Amino acid sequence: MAHGPTPLRLDPAYEKYNQLNKERYKYFKWTPRTAWISFMYAVFVPSVVGYVFAKTDGKYDMRGKLRGDTISEF
């Protein structure tokens, strides 16, 4: 690797964003809003998706269907 000036000019706004993103843990604070969002993404959404997949497991079959055939198995 060559050490010296980079051939590209770095964008100061992007560099600031990158630095903030690396140190995000220093500025994070638990609030009711962040707790609610975390709960939704960690518990609620996967539960709903899992429930829908479990209820429709085996109901639809896309393989070997011809025009006019139904995709619903039951």
pLDDT in tens, 22-31: 999 998 999 9
Q: How far is CA 6 from CA 10, 15, 42, in A?
A: 9, 14, 41
pTM above 0.75, yes or no: no
Q: How far is CA 38 from CA 1, 27, 35, in A?
A: 42, 16, 5
pLDDT in tens, 7-65: 778 899 999 999 999 999 998 999 999 999 999 999 999 999 999 999 988 888 777 77
| Distance between CA atoms of residues 67 and 35, nearest Å | 49
| Distance between CA atoms of residues 8 and 14, nearest Å | 13
